[in-house]
Amino acid sequence: MKKILFASILALSVLSCRENKSRQAPVIENAVDNAESSVSSSIKKNTYSRTGNLVHEIYQELIKNDKILQDLDKKMETIDQEAEDAITEYDDVIRKSETYYNDATALSNSVTDSITKKQIEAEIKTSSDQYNVKTQAIKDLITKIRANRVTLHDQYIVFKIRKTLPEIEKYQNAHSLKTDSLTQFINKQNQLLEELKKLK
């Protein structure tokens, strides 16, 4: 008797889930559903590394059919890479020079003759100060490039969110959450509960 009852409960649950899925089918095609299906099919092929961010996934769906968005995305990627390349070239030279002055100062500490030690420390400081004056304008420009890079990144994120907000709203409208099927399911559960109570 228990086996029959368990089988009945299992069958009822499966059928109710199927009914709910068929009732919840989207009416309008939207970027959210497309993003999710792209993710699902790519995961099956093991070629997709999920970012875990639905905003990015929806935005990628929008880009597929929009040349303007594709161009914008390419420009953002290019300018970010160019900023990295420009900064790296100057950073390497400046960092190496600063490392040299630090190492020279540390090495001068091993000089035992105090007069010679003071002389070499003064020479290191003069050279370092001159280099700092010469490179200050470059350092200021690098700081500005980094600040612009952050601002561009922030603005692009804001743009993506604003561009995808209507898509999630369209998705919500296409998947209207009505209480009917849930109420019907609760009724089925209650019926089964009543049957269970009557069994002895």
Place of tokens 């020079």: 97
Q: Are 181 and 22 in contact (CB under 8 A)?
A: no
Return the closest-CA partner of residue 98 out of 123, 124, 117, 122.
124
Residues 9 and 70 in one domain: no
| CA atoms of 145 and 138, how far apart (whole Å) | 10
Residues 168 and 70 in one domain: yes
Q: What is the mean pLDDT of the chain?
A: 82
Residues 112 and 152 in one domain: yes
- Other beta carbons less than 10 A from residue 57's beta carbon: 20
Look up the domain containing 7 and give its range: 1-24+179-200
Return the closest-CA partner of residue 135 out of 86, 185, 94.
94
For the cut 70, the answer to whether the pLDDT of residue 186 exceeds it is: yes
Q: Are 25 and 174 in contact (CB under 8 A)?
A: no
Residues 184 and 97 in one domain: no
* Beta-carbon-side half-sphere exposure of residue 130 (alpha carbons within 13 Å): 6
The C-alpha angle with vertex 66 and arms to 63 and 70, in degrees rounded to 5, equals 55
Residues 183 and 135 in one domain: no
Confidence bin at 12 (pLDDT 50/70/90): very low
pTM above 0.75, yes or no: no
Residues 170 and 130 in one domain: yes
Confidence bin at 96 (pLDDT 50/70/90): very high
| CA atoms of 130 and 133, how far apart (whole Å) | 5
Better pLDDT: 52 or 101: 101
Confidence bin at 38 (pLDDT 50/70/90): low
46 found inside a domain: no
| CA atoms of 36 and 20, how far apart (whole Å) | 19
Residues 166 and 89 in one domain: yes
Mean pLDDT (whole number) for 91-105: 96
| CA atoms of 32 and 56, how far apart (whole Å) | 11
For the cut 80, the answer to whether the pLDDT of residue 10 exceeds it is: no
Q: Report the range of poorest mean pLDDT among 40-44, 54-58, 118-122, 170-174.
A: 40-44
Q: How high is the pLDDT of residue 176?
A: 81
Residues 118 and 96 in one domain: yes
Residues 103 and 7 in one domain: no
Residues 158 and 183 in one domain: no
Q: How high is the pLDDT of residue 11?
A: 47
Q: Are 91 and 84 in contact (CB under 8 A)?
A: no
pLDDT in tens, 57-82: 999 999 999 999 999 999 999 999 99
Domain count, the chain: 2
Instruction: Tell me the C-alpha to C-alpha distance, in Å, between residue 159 and each of 34, 55, 83.
Output: 20, 11, 21
Q: Are 57 and 51 in contact (CB under 8 A)?
A: yes
Confidence bin at 52 (pLDDT 50/70/90): confident
Which residues have C-beta within 8 Å of that of residue 76, sequence separation ≥ 6? Answer: 152, 156
For the cut 80, the answer to whether the pLDDT of residue 22 exceeds it is: no
